[in-house]
């Protein structure tokens, strides 16, 4: 190899070596940036709050109840006062066997302005019984005149009860016989519901109409801040008796029953919230892990490229050394020639 060719080769190798070193520096900088990104993602993972499922205990409370005849009472508030007295609030529940309750809805035949009927039974205004009604109605026709008079009084009571429960308005009625007992029960319809139902060409209502009857319903009344009550506890601190002053000031003592009650609706709401938060948490974890995997793959590629550059640099260095020796020999030979 001539002197000029050797020097040209040396310069080319030196430039290539510098490029390899520069590219290696760039790769190291990229790997440092990827490492910082990965560290940030790991910090995000460490900073995330893991959702905790709700505990049933958090929605369970101890309930004290006492019976007073047909009344069931549940203590809702117990505030200690001076002199061993307490102010007590409690819910009183009982079963009302003469209450307006919802019955099965039904399709009604008629028009917006009436008349209306369900099946073969015509609906008539509640409390109004005419001779035509008696002749046309199976139940009414089975009653004596005195029973008809009694029924009119009952229907006046029905009308008052219904308006107290459902609001003022005109109500219609029909009677249905229980095939097991043979008894007849009234079923009530609000006229405004009948008028709003809408009817097809055959006179059938386009939607079921609300229907009501007489049945049993649980009633609730809250007695607030009853003062002058006394509480008896056992050795474990559990409440066992409560003494409550009557309206005439005479105290009455009731045995307390202890039970635990779970607010299932609130617990299920909390569990649904937990499931939602857990889903979001899992999604966030999955998203961050996916980003970290991408970074790791990029870093792996850069690491492989860096190893290639290292191998290339070693090869270039070896060749540079060889060319340097050639140049040195050529230089020494030239000096000998001209010496």
* Average pLDDT in the chain: 88
> Do 95 and 219 form a contact (C-beta atoms < 8 A)?
yes
pTM of this structure: 0.56
Q: Mean pLDDT throughout 321-331?
A: 70
The pLDDT value recorded for residue 299 is 87
Q: What is the pLDDT of residues 128-143, one digit of tens each?
A: 999 999 989 999 999 9
Q: What is the pLDDT of residues 32-51, one digit of tens each?
A: 888 898 899 889 888 888 99
Q: Kindly list the distances between the CA atom of residue 62 and the CA atoms of 134, 229, 243, 244, 288, in Å, as whole numbers in the listed order.
A: 57, 20, 19, 20, 44
Q: Mean pLDDT throughout 233-260?
A: 88
The pLDDT value recorded for residue 249 is 65
Q: What is the pLDDT of residues 147-175, one digit of tens each?
A: 999 999 999 999 999 999 999 999 999 99
Q: Kindly list the distances between the CA atom of residue 316 and the CA atoms of 103, 263, 307, in Å, as whole numbers in the listed order.
A: 96, 78, 14
Q: Mean pLDDT throughout 213-222?
A: 93
Q: Which of 112 and 317 is assigned the larger pLDDT? A: 112
> Do 192 and 162 form a contact (C-beta atoms < 8 A)?
no
Between CA 318 and CA 324, with CA 320 as vertex, the angle to 5 degrees is: 120
């Amino acid at each position: 190899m001539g002197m000029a060719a050797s020097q040209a080769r040396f310069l080319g190798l030196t430039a290539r070596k510098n490029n390899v070193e520069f590219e290696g520096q760039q790769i190291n900088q990229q790997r440092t940036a990827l490492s910082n990104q990965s560290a940030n993602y790991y910090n995000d993972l460490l900073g995330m709050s893991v959702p905790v499922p709700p505990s049933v205990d958090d929605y369970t409370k101890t309930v004290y109840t006492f019976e007073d005849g047909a009344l069931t009472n549940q203590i809702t508030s117990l505030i200690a006062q001076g002199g061993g007295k307490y102010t007590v609030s409690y819910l009183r529940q009982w079963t009302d066997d003469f209450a307006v309750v919802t019955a099965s809805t039904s399709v009604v035949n008629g028009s917006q302005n009436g008349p209306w009927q369900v099946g073969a039974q015509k609906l008539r205004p509640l409390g109004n019984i005419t001779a035509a009604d008696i002749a046309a109605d199976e139940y009414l026709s089975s009653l004596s005149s005195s029973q008809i008079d009694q029924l009119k009084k009952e229907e006046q009571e029905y009308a008052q009860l219904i308006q107290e429960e459902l609001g003022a308005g005109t109500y219609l009625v029909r009677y249905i016989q229980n095939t097991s007992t043979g008894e007849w029960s009234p079923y009530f319809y609000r006229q405004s519901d009948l008028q709003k139902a809408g009817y097809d060409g055959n006179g059938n209502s386009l939607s079921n109409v609300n229907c009501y009857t007489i049945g049993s319903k649980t009633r609730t009344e809250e007695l607030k801040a009853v003062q002058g009550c006394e509480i008896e506890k056992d050795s474990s601190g559990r409440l066992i008796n409560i003494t409550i002053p009557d309206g005439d000031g005479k105290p009455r003592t009731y045995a307390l029953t202890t039970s635990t009650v779970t607010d299932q609706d609130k617990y299920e709401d909390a569990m649904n919230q937990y499931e939602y938060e857990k889903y979001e948490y899992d999604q966030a974890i999955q998203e961050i892990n996916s980003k970290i995997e991408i970074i790791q793959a990029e870093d792996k590629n850069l690491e492989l490229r860096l190893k290639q550059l290292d191998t290339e640099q070693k090869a270039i260095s070896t060749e540079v050394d060889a060319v340097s020796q050639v140049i040195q020999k050529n230089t020494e030979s030239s000096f000998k020639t001209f010496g």
